[in-house]
Chains A and B, each alone.
Chain A
């Protein structure tokens, strides 16, 4: 079974780390990453930019594009894509396409990726 691990922390605190503090945390995590990678169990991993860099499409008859993260609490995180987009406008277009294919409630939060580790081939 593949499992996704969603990382939660206080953005305010994490973005206040000095570069040295940030590097230290990443180095500690990398020890775990390396071990999993050697075992052929590590898939793609991402570090996202802060929610201040997010743009959200809220589904509806006329999809609404708003600045900031998806904040509704009625819906839960059900999945995510990683898609290469030239610009934010292009990314918004893709979100519209997804919303047309899967209309109803919820939405898509578009978050630029800060760090992308492609991961090893899964066994």
Chain B
């Protein structure tokens, strides 16, 4: 790798820590971001000449803080009276910097930044956009492309979100244990949102959105490095790795969905699967099973099966049952029904999902699964109705195309 590539990677990986610390000094997201940008500009000049610093994040924090303080001093000189309050705040900042070099605030700084960006008061789309902009450093243009919206619309969305963050007034003191674990949970949820935004893309868009999945994995690993002993963070990281490992096999050349059973498993990413399995092994030793870990364990059973017929559906059924008790939701029961169909047959699965109809009648996958089960039971007319409903509710062209394939098969069988 060239030096510039190294610098680029070092700036990206120092970003959450540096902006997190700058945010603690300046208590304002825009100021922290600007200070970081200025520090990066200086790094691009200084590092190629003087060599990279031993600790890039500490260098960026120090330089970013000094540049911002110089700006404040310059501005206050132009004013008639020096702003006492600003000056005393700066003393605090110096003390805080000494603390940071001891590494004591490191973890809470990054967690605070992640938590602010994924603040539960922000709508999901704003959480994702702000986190990608501020924590990951993606450009507005890159984010806009991933969301399939124009640049100015995305710019507005981010500005609105930042205003809400300022209004939300997140405390800057080090959080207590309960608050810290609430923040970890909120950040984990935000990371999962980012991943799903990328993973739920259809074939044609998948390559545009793959960076969202990769970014989510990077953030999950970051969170895990901060909270090494949290089984749910291990579970989240494992879940993302195991799901993303299948990405190369999920769409065919025309962008159509390839179902799990039909995927070419040799395309799955082996090292990612191995890492996911290792993390699940670690998390299981804690004996506490949270929703991410259980979902990761389900993904692991798919990943471990060399052929679709080797899949341990009985174990998957049990894990979905665990998930149902942790998080009762009709969507989880619907997923469980797919496992039940494999273990106990389509009739049992159909009986399981029929009571869900009132709550899931507007859900694409409900009608898709129902149609599939009816088809297995040779109830073709009912299957056709379910598939028609699914198509009407399809969120992406690939979803619709997939159901249409079933319908075409029905027509052919009848002919």
B-contact bits for A33-76, CB 8 A (1 contact / 0 none): 00000000000000001111101000000000111100000000
Residues of chain B lying within 8 A (CB to CB) of residue A10: 10, 13
Least Cβ distance of B86 to chain A in Å? 34
Residue of chain B at shortest CB distance from A92: B285
Among B249-257, B273-281, B313-321, B394-402, the stretch that binds chain A is: B273-281
Among B214, B228, B278, point to the contact of A88 (Cβ < 8 A): B278
Q: Does the CB pair A19–B269 fall under 8 Å?
A: yes
Q: Does the CB pair B278–A89 fall under 8 Å?
A: no
Residue of chain A at shortest CB distance from B274: A114
What separation, in Å, do the CA atoms of A66 and B285 have in the docked complex? 11
Q: Does the CB pair B13–A67 fall under 8 Å?
A: no
Residues of chain B lying within 8 A (CB to CB) of residue A65: 285
Residues of chain B lying within 8 A (CB to CB) of residue A19: 269
Residues of chain A lying within 8 A (CB to CB) of residue B225: 12, 51-52
Q: Does the CB pair A114–B9 fall under 8 Å?
A: no
- Chain B interface, >50% SS class: helix
Q: Does the CB pair B214–A18 fall under 8 Å?
A: yes
Q: Is B139 an interface residue, CB under 8 A from the partner?
A: no
Residue of chain A at shortest CB distance from B280: A88
- Range of interface residues on chain A? 20 to 34
Among A18, A53, A114, point to the contact of B279 (Cβ < 8 A): A53
Q: Does the CB pair A112–B229 fall under 8 Å?
A: no
Residue of chain A at shortest CB distance from B215: A16
Least Cβ distance of B299 to chain A in Å? 16
Q: Does the CB pair A50–B275 fall under 8 Å?
A: yes
Residues of chain A lying within 8 A (CB to CB) of residue B175: none
Q: Does the CB pair A52–B279 fall under 8 Å?
A: yes
Q: Is B126 an interface residue, CB under 8 A from the partner?
A: no
Among B10, B228, B237, B281, point to the contact of A87 (Cβ < 8 A): B281
Residue of chain A at shortest CB distance from B223: A52
What separation, in Å, do the CA atoms of A50 and B224 have in the docked complex? 11
A-contact bits for B221-251, CB 8 A (1 contact / 0 none): 1101100110000100100000000000000
Q: Tell me which residues from 74 to 123 in chain A have a Cβ below 8 Å from any Cβ of chain B.
A: 87-89, 92, 112, 114-115
Residue of chain A at shortest CB distance from B279: A53
A-contact bits for B146-186, CB 8 A (1 contact / 0 none): 00000000000000000000000000000000000000000
Q: Tell me which residues from 256 to 303 in chain B have a Cβ below 8 Å from any Cβ of chain A.
A: 269, 271, 274-275, 278-279, 281-282, 285
What separation, in Å, do the CA atoms of A70 and B293 have in the docked complex? 24
Q: Does the CB pair B218–A53 fall under 8 Å?
A: no
B-contact bits for A7-30, CB 8 A (1 contact / 0 none): 000101101101101000100000
Least Cβ distance of B167 to chain A in Å? 33
- Range of interface residues on chain B? 20 to 34
- A53 touching B275 in the complex, CB below 8 Å, given contacts A10-B13, A89-B285: yes
Q: Does the CB pair B271–A52 fall under 8 Å?
A: no
What separation, in Å, do the CA atoms of A55 and B221 have in the docked complex? 16
Residues of chain A lying within 8 A (CB to CB) of residue B278: 49, 53, 88, 112
Of B228, B281, B285, most A-chain CB atoms within 10 Å: B228
Q: Is B12 an interface residue, CB under 8 A from the partner?
A: yes
Least Cβ distance of B8 to chain A in Å? 10
What separation, in Å, do the CA atoms of A112 and B228 have in the docked complex? 16
Among B221, B269, B279, point to the contact of A15 (Cβ < 8 A): B221
What separation, in Å, do the CA atoms of A21 and B6 have in the docked complex? 12
Q: Does the CB pair A55–B10 fall under 8 Å?
A: no
Q: Tell me which residues from 192 to 236 in chain B have a Cβ below 8 Å from any Cβ of chain A.
A: 214, 218, 221-222, 224-225, 228-229, 234
Q: Does the CB pair A52–B9 fall under 8 Å?
A: no
Residues of chain A lying within 8 A (CB to CB) of residue B281: 87-89
Residues of chain A lying within 8 A (CB to CB) of residue B10: 10, 13
Q: Does the CB pair A55–B9 fall under 8 Å?
A: no
Starting from the known contacts A13-B13, A55-B285, A68-B228, 4 additional A-B residue pairs (CB-CB under 8 Å) come to A12-B222, A15-B221, A67-B228, A89-B285
A sample of 22 inter-chain contacts (CB < 8 A) reads A10-B10, A12-B13, A12-B222, A16-B218, A18-B214, A19-B269, A25-B1, A49-B275, A49-B278, A50-B275, A52-B221, A52-B234, A53-B282, A55-B285, A65-B285, A88-B278, A88-B281, A88-B282, A88-B285, A89-B281, A112-B278, A115-B271
**A residues in contact (CB < 8 Å) with B:** 10, 12-13, 15-16, 18-19, 21, 25, 49-53, 55, 65-68, 87-89, 92, 112, 114-115
**B residues in contact (CB < 8 Å) with A:** 1, 6, 9-10, 12-13, 214, 218, 221-222, 224-225, 228-229, 234, 237, 269, 271, 274-275, 278-279, 281-282, 285
